[in-house]
Amino acid sequence: MKLHDLAPTLRLGKPPAEAKGALILLHGRGAGAEDIAGLAEYLPARDLAILAPAATQNTWYPQRFFVPLAENEPWLSSALDLVEGHVAELHAAGIPYEKIAIAGFSQGGCLALEYATRHPRKYGLVAGLSSALIGPPKMSRVPADLSGVPVLVACATHDAHIPLPLVEDSIGILRGFGAEVTRQIFPGYDHTVFPEEIEWLSARLAGWG
């Protein structure tokens, strides 16, 4: 079932056929494409194609990220299909997977991490900002080969939306899949994008221009 649509995606930067790489930005619950697209202003993304899709009703899936998967369907599958649609579009335009970055905040970050495990490729980077993998604790997962993929998993210690034990579990799972995971855990309660996360993204995108 198609709940999310590629059509309202906000497109910034270079056209994919002219870009040296691409950045897919996934917004959080209750936000929109314009909100997450603002992150690109702080990144060395001038030569990149930037896609910021918009979730239907401003949410990628209706329940918390750690409930049984069925409770977030068919929204979750539709959201994953939307990301796959954009990745396929960018790759068809000549951008190698190694130059495709997928980053999201909160619910969008959870979607980015989950997408990578279900569609494992040698991406340029994957970043979950204040995020974790989707699904209940100790859920059985299909093994995925993310060998060498730079992955950021970051969160505050007392984030009310993202329980820290699930963040730590996600880090372990992604490392088990071979990803080169950077763990950034910040003291406090803030549910936000931290400067250190922007620095991590910038350092890895800087060489793409």
Q: For residue range 9-66, list pLDDT tens digits in order.
A: 999 999 999 999 999 999 999 999 999 999 999 999 999 999 999 999 999 999 999 9
Q: Band the pLDDT of 209: cuts 50, 70, 90.
A: low
Q: What's the confidence (pLDDT) of residue 5?
A: 93
Helices 164-176 & 107-118 angle (0-180, nearest 10): 20
Identify the CATH number of the domain in which residue 46 sits.
3.40.50.1820
Q: What's the confidence (pLDDT) of residue 1?
A: 56
pTM recorded for the entire structure: 0.97
Distance CA 209, CA 202 (A): 11
Contact partners, residue 80, CB within 8 Å, separation at least 6: 111, 114, 115, 118, 119
Kindly state the average pLDDT of the residues 107-130. Answer: 98
75/2: higher pLDDT: 75
Distance CA 174, CA 91 (A): 24
Residue 29 φ then ψ, to 5°: -60, 135
Within a domain: residue 173?
A: yes
The number of domains in the chain is 1
Within a domain: residue 201?
A: yes
Q: What's the confidence (pLDDT) of residue 2?
A: 75
Within a domain: residue 5?
A: no
Residue 50 φ then ψ, to 5°: -115, 125
Q: What's the confidence (pLDDT) of residue 45?
A: 94
Within a domain: residue 130?
A: yes
Q: What is the pLDDT of residues 140-193, one digit of tens each?
A: 999 999 999 999 999 999 999 999 999 999 999 999 999 999 999 999 999 999
Determine contact, residues 7/169, Cβ cutoff 8 Å: no
> Is pLDDT of 208 > 90?
no
Within a domain: residue 160?
A: yes
Residues in the chain: 209
Within a domain: residue 114?
A: yes
CB atoms within 10 A of CB 178: 16
What is the extent of the structural domain holding 125?
Answer: 10-208
CA angle 85–206–122, rounded 5-degree value? 40
